[in-house]
A and B are shown apart, each in its own frame.
Chain A
Amino acid sequence: DAGVIQSPRHEVTEMGQEVTLRCKPISGHNSLFWYRQTMMRGLELLIYFNNNVPIDDSGMPEDRFSAKMPNASFSTLKIQPSEPRDSAVYFCASRLTVNTEAFFGQGTRLTVV
């Protein structure tokens, strides 16, 4: 398996633009997580899904952020409109079932100018 695949690896966008980050979890995995990592705040959980259903989105910073998981093999994290303070590395991770370890993608480095 190729592991968790995230795209793009790097994204530079202007303030106010819409940004869509994509994630393909490991095949057969039932849980998917979106994390954001910054120097100031460390690794923050934004949202996680079990069996494509959002379980906890309390970490989503505000209404500008939304996440979807239309099927077991694909998820998106959208920011609209983007702001400079959204600049961070966004990680997607998946796990086989609850109570198993999570596998991380390489991350998307987002820069909003």
Chain B
Amino acid sequence: AQSVTQPDIHITVSEGASLELRCNYSYGATPYLFWYVQSPGQGLQLLLKYFSGDTLVQGIKGFEAEFKRSQSSFNLRKPSVHWSDAAEYFCAVGVGNEKLTFGTGTRLTIIP
């Protein structure tokens, strides 16, 4: 069965600093990978997705993620964070007819 690990429960960065959120997956083949963001009291919004092709994918709000097969990783990055990026971020994996499995999330705090 597939699984997703987000090793960082909580990350704090300064506004304007760069950001990298880690995500590792476990699956026998290449899965479909997603990053979602959840603001307080809201549902989850898709930031970006990887299905195939270019391993560096661009998403909304200036985010990008890179699929690295050798490391079974799909880390999310942003060169310069804004205070509005404070939220909870979820990595998810899904393949074929299987369910979407989410990681435990990483809470991002932005300090001035």
Contacts and interface: CB of A to CB of B under 8 A. Distances in A.
Main secondary structure of the interface of A (DSSP, over half): strand
Contacts of B100: 33, 45, 48, 93, 95, 102
Contacts of A4: 43
Interface residues of A, number: 22
Interface in B33-48: 34, 36, 42-46
Interface in A70-113: 91, 93, 95, 98-99, 101-107
A56 B98 CA distance: 9
B104 A99 contact: no
**Interface size class, chain B:** 20 to 34
Contacts of A50: 97
A43 B44 CA distance: 11
B87 to A, nearest CB: 14
A50 B97 CA distance: 8
Interface of A: 4, 33, 35, 42-43, 45, 48, 50, 55-56, 91, 93, 95, 98-99, 101-107
